[in-house]
């Protein structure tokens, strides 16, 4: 009986290109999955300012929603609002949250920047 040597493809084994199971998006380019952000001028955006305590253990937070800007612009707006109010804040799900009830201050600030801002909620 003749022995036959099995020829293996060393190029695939060494680079690790062979896989059996792969999760969606494991090696996918993350910039390919991003949605294109359309940045509207400030005068065409309807922004809502609301004081909320829901799900925050009784702490009041001012939530500003309705922005249609790029994430970089949203971060710069957050920084300006935090200095204006003298409070902390963050960005969650495309909304800006500022610690404390600063609805009137932020309403004036946003209207000075040219946004169409309204107070929503009770």
Give the per-residue pLDDT at 22: 66
Average pLDDT over every residue of 83-110: 95
At 37 the three-state DSSP class reads coil
Domain encompassing residue 88:
42-119
CA distance 43 to 75: 19
Is the pLDDT reported for residue 95 higher than 70? yes
| Residue 91, phi then psi, degrees to nearest 5 | -115, 125
Which candidate, 68, 64, 69, places its Cα nearest to that of 120?
Answer: 64
Give the per-residue pLDDT at 96: 96
Q: pLDDT digits over 5-58, tens only?
A: 655 555 445 556 776 766 665 566 666 666 666 788 888 899 999 999 988 888
Looking at the domain assignment, is residue 19 inside a domain? no
Looking at the domain assignment, is residue 96 inside a domain? yes
Indicate which CATH number applies to the domain containing 48.
3.30.780.10
Q: Are 20 and 73 in contact (CB under 8 A)?
A: no
Q: pLDDT digits over 55-69, tens only?
A: 888 899 999 999 999
Q: Maximum distance among all alpha carbons in the chain?
A: 91
Give the per-residue pLDDT at 36: 64
Residue 83 contacts by C-beta under 8 Å, 6 or more apart in sequence? none
CA distance 111 to 23: 46
- What domain count does the chain have? 1
Looking at the domain assignment, is residue 107 inside a domain? yes
């Amino acid at each position: 009986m003749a022995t036959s040597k099995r020829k293996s493809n060393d190029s695939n084994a060494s680079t690790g290109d062979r896989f059996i199971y792969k999760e969606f998006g494991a090696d996918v380019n993350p910039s390919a999955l991003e949605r294109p952000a359309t940045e509207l001028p400030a005068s065409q955006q309807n922004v809502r300012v609301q004081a909320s305590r829901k799900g925050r253990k009784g702490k009041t937070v001012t939530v500003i929603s309705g922005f249609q800007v790029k994430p970089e612009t949203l971060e710069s707006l957050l920084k300006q609002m935090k200095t204006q109010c003298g409070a902390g804040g963050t960005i969650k799900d495309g909304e800006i949250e500022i610690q404390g009830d600063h609805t009137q201050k932020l309403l004036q600030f946003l209207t000075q920047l040219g946004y169409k801002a309204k107070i929503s909620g009770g």
